[in-house]
Amino acid sequence: MCAANKRQTNRESLDAAAVRARPACRDALGARQSVFGNYRAQERRRREQHD
């Protein structure tokens, strides 16, 4: 397993623990992750256009 993959999994498990500990934070956490996911999708599309 590469380090980046491990770090991603670790961060996701920490986020899951935070969500379980504080259910009120679930909406904010989901919004942050979806914004980050949209940003990654845009970056991928931009890279594909350059190729």
Separation CA 47–CA 43 (nearest Å): 6
- What is the residue-level pLDDT of the chain in tens, covering all 51 positions? 456 556 666 666 766 676 666 655 556 666 666 677 778 888 888 888 876
Q: What is the pTM of this model?
A: 0.31
For residues 6-38, one letter each, b for 16 or more C-beta atoms within 10 angstroms of the residue's C-beta and e for the rest, the string is eeeeeeeeebeeebeeeeeeeeeeeeeeeeeee
Instruction: Quote the CA–CA distance of 13 and 47 in Å, as a whole number.
Output: 29
